[in-house]
Structure 1
Amino acid sequence: MQVDSEDEIEVSPFDWPKGFYSDSTHAGLKPDGDDMGWIYSEVPAEAAGVYTTNQFQAAPTTLTKQTINLNYQLQAVVMNSGNANSCNGEQGISDAEMMQQMVADRLQIQANLVGIASTGVIGEPLPMAKIKAGISELKLTKNVGLTKAILTTDTHPKTMTVKCVINDQPVTITGFCKGSGMIHPNMATMLGFVTTDAVISGSQLQQLLSHTVDETFNQITVDGDTSTNDMVVVMANGQAHNQPLTDTNPDYSTFAVAFETVLAHLAKEIAGDGEGASKLVEVNVKGALNHLEGQQVAKAIVGSNLVKAMIFGEDGNWGRIMQAIGQTDAHVDIDGVSVSINGIQLVKNSMGTGIDDAEVSATLKNKVVTIDVDLNAGSAAGTAWGCDLTYKYVQINASYRS
């Protein structure tokens, strides 16, 4: 999607949109650091969400999905790390509902305006006394500690704020997320939250979110595993007082591009912070028969353990990229594929170019590795993001609970 001028979108320091508040606290779910927090809008906000496709969907995820689907509205989301409240049966459902009601009582709003998000160890009951104490400590501040409170194995918070002008009114879109391992969306062990003061209906927001997630969060992979708790939730409280954003609003494309800018940045932040990762990997595919196949091939390459290990080892073994392409059912010109890494062409017409291995190894030392592929089968493209596979990944996940 294009806008007339890049000046219409401005990446800004982290800042909550008008009418949004937050806070975080240490509830004791983790040994140290904040592990619980909330987002609050001073008015009910239009809301939309996308959720994990894992069959063992966690109680907080299921409850939030049900809550948003009632009328596409939320006024608050409470979140915790340290415990996923997943695979806990009826007790897990009851605890999620109790958590929702506690927040509603504290904020004096309806329970069906409260979303719940949890992340952490699967299969351990929520310590409800700690949850209750944590909720009692939360306040309505502008505390950005919330962005740290949801982290598990992440090495840093992942945030993004973009400002734009819609119908002559300044609009802010701010997002933050967590995710490092068990990342292979539809969705992944990731939680994402986006707030905006724009005026947009819940149904329009849902349409935009679903489309944008397919182009961003669903095009990242760290380890091929999909979690039970993932979700991305968006709240739009209308405090910018712009004209309602619909497909016919001339500034809709500006908002959509700003929205995609936020989600794409957060998606790449997750990919680059994969557990144990030392490199961010971007794969750009062109010459695909259609966009879906371009996306499929890009994600297959970035998700291949052989490719990921190759990049970690700084070994220009381009055959691993070719096998990843060939494992898909995408249309490919078998005798016409090209592959480049960081601008160095390794494959032309599906054969090696004889490039010096030392040159390839040197470029693979970069913190960002870009792989460009031409399938020579059409005019469509696709992009995906991931990371290398390191010894550290095994170390982290061999002792996750300890």
Structure 2
Amino acid sequence: MTLASNLSVPIGSTAARDRRRTLAVTGVNHALHDGYTDLIYVLLPAWQGQFGLDYASLALLRTLYTGALAALQVPSSKLAGLFGARAVLIAGTALSAGGYAIAGLSGGLAGLCVALLLAGAGGSTQHPLASAVIARAYGTGARGPLGTYNFTGDLGKAALPPLVGLMLTVWTWHSALWAVAGLGGAVAAGVALFLPYEASTATARADGAKPAERDGRGPERGRLGFGLLVAIGVLDTTARPAFLLYLPFILQAKGAALATVGVAFALVGLGGALGKAVCGRLGSRLGVTPTVILTEAGTAGAILAALALPLAPALALMPVLGLMLNGTSSVLYGTVPELAPGGRVEHAFALFYTFTLGFSALAIPLLYGRLGDAVGPDWAATAAAATALAVVPLVLALSPCLPGAARRSVR
């Protein structure tokens, strides 16, 4: 049985109710996992105080999570080929929850590192598998549902970090992590109960496979387009954590308490969620290229403004910053199935997430973490703004590579 057989759901035979339920369950799961990723930022000051870590070491702690998440994207898709995407999604969510439970039980730095690796390994399952399940279920109509799925991740980013920030005002960070681990266990149970089983039709393929070849542009142009899309995703995915790593310390230097830092991340998450919806509409009206240029230039400008402003106006800017930081990703994720080499959607998503998350996991501690130690948080954040601007020439090069279907869907 192939991975395609596990993930393929013929659009004509899939009930609308099952499609909606698939989108809802994978959306809740996405919210949990993205919330798990971003709550680490709120915990960094607490870990710095307890373990006496420098910025490079703090970046490495986050990389333990994101590195495992990135490295296991393709292996997770292979496991789905053996056991089914549903079973792997359930197991991955349970493993992430277990990792955070172990982190809460740990009393030392070594135990925390192992726990973050386990939590990241569990998180590696949901992006490629859930995205491919949705793409297979909706076929050529998947761009909108994929944008909705992408949007739900920001709801988790808006909810979990401030919740943990509030917990840290009355609890230790250990107790806070036990609580979020319990939430993860509940979501894993929900996935097991409500996510529909995949069809096992080996011949079923989503509509729109091999779009570049049907478009007459040839497989070489399709591979070039996918490569450029991945490169854009790498820079976009790196700029966001490169800035957010330093946001707590930038805000604390302006006089913010830990609870205020949690609120700031909530505002960033809410703005990011809005950005997914707004930029999806902008992508439909303006096209991929103008939308991406707008969001990346806006990201750079918002980062520089956040550095220059006092605390109150900087906090007011957070929703706009989140909108710009996260707006690009909806356009990119919706384009993956249309540029998937050979029409292999699940493999394309796995590769996309592997490269984007993997490069980010390596670059944050090795480049941006060391840069922060050398020149301080403000200049490191400025480098993140420059990273966002570096997307612009790449997206201009991508435009001619988009297949006809993608051009019609974004213009």
Could you tell me the TM-score, scaled by structure 2's length?
A: 0.24
Could you tell me the TM-score, scaled by structure 1's length?
A: 0.25
Larger Rg: 1
Higher strand share: 1
Which one has more relative contact order, counting CA pairs under 8 Å at least 6 apart?
A: 2
Higher helix share: 2
